[in-house]
Structures are given as structure tokens and as C-alpha cells.
Structure 1
């Protein structure tokens, strides 16, 4: 490589070629290289001017670039560069906003262009013209500054980061992250909706779901066989576990999938707990009078219900002129079996059996029908008179309140018109007229007796006269 050096004398420059210095006036042969003329003053001046011009052009370009960047970046906001997320439900329309200062898009002789680029870095629009053959895509401009990208009937494959760009120096762009949301969906084919288990088993209820974002599964018990309201049970998740299940757990359960994207989805699972029959008798003994009828009741709980019968001496009883068998439904797993016995005679008294049978077992209960006798009341031993009378059994004293002096006596004859007369006489066993009111006295009150020993007395009330007789 050769190096050019300016010497002390402009007219006598020297060249270094290899390791040998030669004078500028030295001539090379054709084998040593080409002929070279020594540089002149004019050539050096021309080279200096060219170098200065190149330096000026470079400086001017640099300052223009800096000024352009300062103008677009500091003084003006060419495009709203704030990145945003746009959440849209699948099969709806997505609107991706982009705002550009109109003086760059409407002026400068169309020098600046706005383009949209999809997540695959493919230009999908130039200005307001669509560049892809996708009829779902349009650029809408409700205002001069708007360059909004509309994507209709959105799907999962449309999700990603879109870029709105303008070809300034340097280019400006806005990023929009399109998030496509999908409502929850429950896959019904994974598990049956009707599960049958036995008492004591462990049960797992499954509820698989899909959606974006992933849905949350909540479990509820519907309480179909009680008056309780729907209640939340267990923990959130796709699996509900019931360990050592009992007959009270038989019910319908519901899982609800929700990811804040309407509508939420739900699924109901019916759990049937099977167990052997259980019998309850309201009365284990019942009595009745000969010639009448009675009804025997037997309450049976089982799952499944199976066969229920009444038996007498090991023989199944069916509906006839003597017996009537009826079955009443008291709930999903409970029935009442009744036996009506008509015109009871002595042969109908004894033991009756209520039996229930299902695939998980058999059980029975006994009920006794016994005879009762009617109650008869003996006739009263009384004596009647022609006047009205009252039957009673006094036991000692009959105290009488009437005006006058008090005497030891036995009876209360009440009040008489014309004033009160106290008249008391001891009661004896002979049939003698004990007391008789004075002339003109009239009974207006009631008779009260205090008893010590028993006798049978008939009191006869006669107008203006009162006396006692014994029977």
C-alpha cells in the first residue's frame, strides 16, 4: 500500500513504495508498474476542495436528520404511540384504534402514508385501502385523525399484536394487542349426567370446561327434595368429591362455568344413592271392635323402591271384598302401604306382616290387630216425682241460709222473697218432713249441699212450699 506525504517542498514530493525511496523524477520500467506523474499544486488544491465539500454535505445531512427528529419527536405528536390492549369476544367485531395528526396525512403532498401491519408482519392496509383479500377487514375514518382498523366476525386466529405505522423519519408506530375472548363451554361428553352409587361409596363429579380466559367452576346443591334454597358447596374446580356418601346426599348438583365473558354455562348432575329398604310403623299395635273396619299403615323408604306387600300367615294379601291394599307416594324414595280390613270378625285379629324388597335387600315389620270391647254405662237408681227434681248423694250436712236464728242443721235452701230466714235442722234417717218455710215464702235461689255421709235424697220443689223426702 502506498502512502502519500506532503514534503517540505511542494515541487519535490517523494513516494514510499515498498522499502525503497525513490525520487518523484525516477522513472519506472514497464515491469515495475505503471508510469506515475508527480502531483501538482493544482491537483492538491482540487483534492482539498472536494474533501471540504463532502464534509459539508455530511454535516448538512446530519443536521437535517436531527432537526427532523426533533420536530417530529418534540414539537409535534405525529401518532398516539401508547400501546393498548383490545379485548373482544369471538364472532363479534374488533375495532383497533389509531390516531394520527392530520397535518401529516392531509398535507405534505401525500408524502406520509399510514399502514396497518398484522401479527405476521404483513401489511394489511395502505391508507384506507385493504391490501389483503379479506372482506372482514376495513379501515374506518369517522374523523380525519382516525385510522381505525375494523375486523368483523373475529376468531382466535386473529389474536396478536397489530401495528399502525406512519413513514416519518424515523418511522412512528402504535402497537395494539388484540385479545380474543371465548365464552365458557362445558364438554358434556366427558361424564354422565345421572350417577347411581351405593351408601358408603366415594363419588367424583366432573365438569370439564373450555374458554378464554380459562373459566372458574363453582358447585351448587339444588336441594330438590327439601325446602332449602340452592346452596354453594365444596371448592372451586372441575372435580367435586363426596366421600362416604349417605342417603341424605341424594340430590341434583350443578356446576357453573364463568370467565367474565357472558354467557356463563351450567350443567346439572343427578346423584342417586341406592340403599336397602327401611320400614317405619306409625303404630305397631292397633285395636278395633268386632264388626267394624280398620286401616293398617306401613311407611317404606328404599332406593330403588322395589316390591312392597302385606302378608297374613305368610300369604300375600290383595284387594278383595275383605281387604283393600293401597300405595301412596310420599316422596322420591318413600311410599306408604295401607291395608283396609272391612267387617272385622274374630278371625281377623292377630299379626300382619309388612314386607319390602329391592335389589339391595329385604326387610319386614310386624303389626298386631287386637280386639277391644264397647263401653256400657249402668242405668242410674233414682226415684222420680210429678214435679221437677234433682238427684244427688249428700254426705253430712245440708246448710240453709234463711232469715232468723241459726241452728245446727244440714242444708242450704237459698233465698226467699220478703227477706232472709236462717233455718238449720239436723238431718236424720227417718223419712220425716224436716223444714217448711213460713206462709208466703217463695224460692228464688239455688240449693247447695255439703256432704259427710251418703244417703239418697230426692228434693221436690213446690210453689210456696218446700220439703224433703228420702228414698
Structure 2
């Protein structure tokens, strides 16, 4: 019984003997369709119901004999007889595998007439992702190629979903050409074949770009009061910040001034404004991809307007002197 050739020969002989000289009729499969579908890992019972007196009976899978009567020929411990009588001859396949898929034959001899019926076992496997791109970090303007490989029976579909905009791309591969910073997000792969709920996984795409200062403005401040200069910069990786005075001296912490750096901004905190604090400050934001800078004034309220008015007054006085002097010279002439 361990020889495949012998098993095939005996299987063929059983079918010939049971069908020789008579019409082939069908046994009842317990109202089941000719195709029986089962999920991988589940159990299935193949029922062969008999309504006549039986002399011989057998179960075959393709050309392999599983049972002849109550004698088991199969070495597979998962296959067992669950009911054998004059009215039923059924087998159970436990923990169904994909390799169990195929045709099964129940055959028996009743009242000197052969009975042969066939059933095809279909094994379905829920779709699942077996290989997917790792999270990736790229520079803005580069191309991104993601993949998501899935298996299942029947063959599953694979789609990519853009979480931010809800866009969908069909197929195992997602290609993004010259990626922009706005496209940095989680991309979700979804695979489905109708057998079970979809399987889904996400891939994070990080887009690196140089700092860009987005918020800066001049700030009025009163002597003895507090004041804040703010420098906001968007960047990936996050920017590092430095501050400089108008004479290019680095700004350093002291008892009246403190630098507070956060993820996307830097603050100059003046706790007690004095005359020495007024002036121009430059914020310098940088990461490994580049840098950006912006300047802003800390000034006394009205100082800019007063400075301008003084300048115009001085010009008017000088003009008056020049006109008077010209008039005197003309009179003498």
C-alpha cells in the first residue's frame, strides 16, 4: 500500500469493477452541490448517502484510495470515517489544506448496480499581505516606489489608499514621481478576495526638505517690560535655530534674555527690556538639506515714526538756512 503504482492500479480496478456492465447512477451528497467550498484550516464532511443495500463501497481522491469499506488506505490522519452504515458512507477532512483541493469520488455496489458520484472540493484562503515595503524617508523631488505582495485563493486584488486625500491606486506597486512635501503621509495597502475581511497594512513615507521661515515680524517693546521675538520654520528633519544681533554677534542667554527652542520655532524671550535690547535680530534656521534666515526689529513704540519725523524736520531746517543765505548773497550782488 505504500507503492503509488499499486494504489493507482487498485483505484482504477475498483472503479472498473463497480461500473462494469451497468449504467452509472449518482449517490446523494446530502443536498450539497457538486462543488463544496471550504476555508483553509476548517473541517469539511463529504457525505455520501445510500438508499439501497450495499455490498462494496469506497472513497477515492483523484486516483488515491482513501477507504474501501471501513479499511483505511490513506496515511493522512486528518481523514477519517465519520459515518458508515447501510444509509451513509461519509468522510471528514480535518484542518483542510490547499493540497486537499480536487475531485473526490464516492462509489459503492448496491443490488448489483454500481453507484458513482463525484464532488470537487474547493479550498479558499483569505487574502493576506506577505511582503510590504518598509517605512521610507526620502528627499523632496525624489521618486518613491512602494510594493505590497499578497496571497490568497481566489487571487486577491491589491489597492493602495492615500490617507490624506482618499485616492486609490490599483495593483501591488505604487510609484510616486518627484514626491512633494505635501505627499508625506501613511499609505495603506489593502488586499481582498471576498473570502474574509480585507487585510491591510500601512507604510509611512517621510519627505525631507530644507527649512522655510514662515512667520516673522517686527515687535514693539516698552522699557522694563517683557517682549517676544518669534521665528517659525517648517523643515524635515526639524530645523536647529540660531539668533544673531545686527552686528553679527550670536545672541546668548543672560538674566534678561532667554532663547527657547521648540520643534518648529524658536523664541527670544526678553524678561526686562533695556536700551541695549533694541535693534535688529536675525533668526537662522538650518538642517542637513539647507538653511533659511530672516531679520526683525525689536523697537520702542513710536521710535520708528519719531526717527522719521526728526529726519524730515532736520531737512526742513537746513533748507530754510540755505534759502536765507542765498537771498542775502543775491541782495549784496
**Cα distance in 1, alignment partners of residues 297 and 26 from structure 2:** 101
**Cα distance in 2, alignment partners of residues 221 and 368 from structure 1:** 43
**Alignment match, 1:90:** 40
| Alpha-carbon contact 2:53-2:86 (below 8 Å) kept | no
Deviation of 1:304 (Å): 0.6
The question of 1:210 aligning with 2:151 is answered yes
**Alignment match, 1:296:** 229
**Alignment match, 1:226:** none
| Alpha-carbon contact 1:128-1:138 (below 8 Å) kept | no
The question of 1:185 aligning with 2:134 is answered no
**Cα distance in 1, alignment partners of residues 33 and 301 from structure 2:** 96
Q: 1:325 aligns with which of 259, 263, 268?
A: 259
Q: 1:348 aligns with which of 270, 273, 277?
A: 277
The 3-state SS of whatever aligns with 1:113 is strand
**Cα distance change, pair 134–343 in 1 and its aligned pair in 2 (3 A):** closer
**Cα distance change, pair 295–78 in 1 and its aligned pair in 2 (3 A):** closer
The question of 1:307 aligning with 2:240 is answered yes
RMSD value over aligned CA atoms?
A: 2.5
Deviation of 1:273 (Å): 0.6
**Cα distance in 2, alignment partners of residues 277 and 367 from structure 1:** 18
Deviation of 1:266 (Å): 1.9
Judging by fraction of residues, say which structure has more strand: 2
**Alignment match, 1:154:** 96
* Structure 2 unmatched ranges of 5 or more: 1-20, 304-333
1:206-236 superposed Cα distances (whole Å, 9 cap, x missing partner)? 101112212211222334xxxxxxx642222
| Alpha-carbon contact 1:91-1:155 (below 8 Å) kept | yes
TM-score by length of 1: 0.55
**Cα distance in 2, alignment partners of residues 242 and 373 from structure 1:** 53
| Alpha-carbon contact 2:59-2:65 (below 8 Å) kept | yes
The 3-state SS of whatever aligns with 2:53 is helix
**Cα distance change, pair 99–219 in 1 and its aligned pair in 2 (3 A):** same
Deviation of 1:260 (Å): 2.3
Residue-pair matches, total: 279
Max Rg structure: 1
The question of 1:130 aligning with 2:80 is answered no
TM-score by length of 2: 0.76
Judging by fraction of residues, say which structure has more helix: 2
1:241-281 superposed Cα distances (whole Å, 9 cap, x missing partner)? 22232111111111122222335322210000111100022
Q: Which gives a bigger RCO, structure 1 or 2 (Cα 8 Å, sep 6+)?
A: 2
The 3-state SS of whatever aligns with 1:248 is helix
**Cα distance in 2, alignment partners of residues 298 and 187 from structure 1:** 46
